[in-house]
Amino acid sequence: MRPTKTNGHFETLVVDDEPTNGVSGRTEVLYDTEASEALCARAPIGLLAELTHRCPLQCSYCSNPLELERVNKELTTAEWVSVMQQAGAMGILQVHLSGGEPTARKDLEEIVSAASKAGLYTNLITAAVTLTRPRLEELAKRGLDHVQISFQDVNEENAEHISAYPEGLRKKLEVAHWVTELGLPLTINAPIHRQNIHNVPRYIELAVELGAQRLEIAHVQYYGWAFLNRAALIPTYKQTMESIEFVERERERLKGVLTIDMVVPDYYAKRPKPCMGGWGKGFINITPSGKVLPCHAAETIKHLKFDNVKDRKLLDIWLNSDAFNAFRGTEWMKEPCCSCAFREIDFGGCRCQAMAITGDARNTDPACALSPYHGEMVALAHSEAGRPPKPFIYRNPRNATNAPKPEQRPLVPAE
């Protein structure tokens, strides 16, 4: 099984595998009431469990929402255990334990045990700075399958500037060594932007030195805090293209040694990414308080209402909820998507990006050259990247309170 690719620590998940063949297992434990109609006959492949929004780091590129959920709203251990059992019974294959920083949950071991017993492939997405060796050993004993560590930079001083956390790099290197010593597969996540793009070559060297199986060169996607900080993060077109070409060459050179995944920035693209592999097609995201979302940024689409695992079974939400059915298939599409040959390939791109940039989630993702907003989006990228970077607005509760509301932020008015 190929782990789902992630675009960064807490960032966009690009589902590139097909969904699984169907709902399987003990469906009677999932339903109180029978789903009225099997609107989606196949189970999702992946579940992103955002266990908490607490995090010791304050990265400005974080894709968490600006409205961070409080600790007293988080699901209990028993509720997360139930989520894992339901996910396993639905036929979901992978669970990504993320956040915030998932190790901030004292019950992470119990959640990993439950996920493992439910037959899920468990991937811990961690900043690693608070992880101890005994805890990692215990997690491995409980069935943890894979560890993904984000590196804000490969230079300590710059990593500190990006994350507002001292000596994080030293600690991450230590934990990465423990991961490989324990025989766990390791992925290095490299969230790339204008303030560390010059270090892409060193990231690749480091991943090889650490014995990582996989390196994700994940150009930052502009959701959540990254959208707010775009003018501090977006690289120039030239920097972007050079880094992409370099990575392509390194991929060839390192075949059989290191798998390098790359997520390229949307703002310079001509065609959009098939975000989430299609809305409600292969992926579920659960927030710390239990809201079930089709993607991590879905709450920016304000007219959608999201069900909670505390009130409704996961399978019922997946099959029947209004939010998951809002953009399934192609019925909802407007022009140019609805008559386009690519509509079943990229699904019109990203709903949340369409919302953020155009103010209407049904519009074509402006990353597409056929979108009437595409030119403005590219011009914006060139303009922001061509000026000195703005200071970071770090991801923390104080800045969350002061951040502008989404309706104050669209680039251009709705069509």
Residue 169 in contact with ligand FES, rule: CB under 6 A: no
Residue 352 in contact with ligand FES, rule: CB under 6 A: yes
Quote the least distance from Cβ 275 to ligand FES, whole Å: 3
Q: Which is nearer to ligand FES, 199 or 358 (CB)?
A: 358
Q: Which residues contact 87 (CB under 8 A, 6 or more apart)?
A: 47, 95, 115, 118, 120, 284, 314
Instruction: Return the ∠ at Cα 309 (arms to 304 and 70), rounded to 5°.
Output: 80
Q: Residue 103 to residues 129, 132, 247: CA-CA distances in angstroms?
A: 10, 10, 31
Quote the least distance from Cβ 353 to ligand SF4, whole Å: 11
Question: Which helix (H) or strand (E) is 189 found in, with range?
Answer: strand 186-192
- Exposure of 387 by Cβ count < 10 A (0-12 exposed, 13-18 middle, 19+ buried)? exposed
Residue 229-268 contact track with ligand FES, rule CB under 6 A, x = bound: ----------------------------------------
Q: Which is nearer to ligand SF4, 81 or 352 (CB)?
A: 352
For residue 298, the partner it binds in ligand FES, ligand SF4, none, with Cβ less than 5 to 8 A by kind, is ligand FES
Residue 10 CA to residue 44 CA, distance in Å, equals: 19
Quote the least distance from Cβ 376 to ligand SF4, whole Å: 16
Quote the least distance from Cβ 276 to ligand FES, whole Å: 5
Residue 122 CA to residue 94 CA, distance in Å, equals: 6
Residue 275 in contact with ligand FES, rule: CB under 6 A: yes
Tokens standing for residue 95 = 């669970």
DSSP 183: T
Residue 218 in contact with ligand FES, rule: CB under 6 A: no
Strands 292-293 and 283-286, bridge-based pairing: antiparallel
Residue 393 in contact with ligand SF4, rule: CB under 6 A: no
Residue 204 in contact with ligand FES, rule: CB under 6 A: no
Residue 370 in contact with ligand SF4, rule: CB under 6 A: yes
For residue 352, the partner it binds in ligand FES, ligand SF4, none, with Cβ less than 5 to 8 A by kind, is ligand FES
Residue 56-95 contact track with ligand SF4, rule CB under 6 A, x = bound: ----------------------------------------
Q: Which is nearer to ligand SF4, 62 or 381 (CB)?
A: 381
Q: Residue 337 to residues 162, 341, 380: CA-CA distances in angstroms?
A: 38, 8, 23
In the list 49, 350, 357, 378, the residue contacting ligand FES (rule: CB under 6 A) is 350
Closest CA to 19 of 251, 280, 369: 280
Residue 237 CA to residue 235 CA, distance in Å, equals: 7
Closest CA to 97 of 163, 142, 33: 142
Residue 272-311 contact track with ligand SF4, rule CB under 6 A, x = bound: x---------------------------------------
Residue 362 CA to residue 376 CA, distance in Å, equals: 18
In the list 177, 202, 328, 343, the residue contacting ligand SF4 (rule: CB under 6 A) is 343
Quote the least distance from Cβ 346 to ligand FES, whole Å: 11
For residue 235, the partner it binds in ligand FES, ligand SF4, none, with Cβ less than 5 to 8 A by kind, is none
Tokens standing for residue 292 = 């079930």
Residue 340 in contact with ligand SF4, rule: CB under 6 A: yes
Residue 377 in contact with ligand SF4, rule: CB under 6 A: no
Closest CA to 395 of 48, 4, 59, 92: 59
Quote the least distance from Cβ 136 to ligand FES, whole Å: 30
Residue closest to ligand SF4 when measured from CB atoms? 340
Q: Which is nearer to ligand SF4, 140 or 369 (CB)?
A: 369
Closest CA to 57 of 98, 8, 101, 10: 101
Closest CA to 356 of 404, 307, 287: 404
Query: Which amino acid type is present at position 241?
Result: M
**Is 275:298 a contact under the CB 8 Å cutoff?**
no
Residue 295 in contact with ligand FES, rule: CB under 6 A: yes
Quote the least distance from Cβ 301 to ligand FES, whole Å: 8
Applying CB under 6 A, the residues found at the interface with ligand FES are 12, 223, 275-276, 279, 295, 297-298, 350-352
Where does this chain bind ligand SF4 (CB under 6 A)? 271-272, 336-337, 340, 342-343, 346, 348-349, 364-365, 368, 370
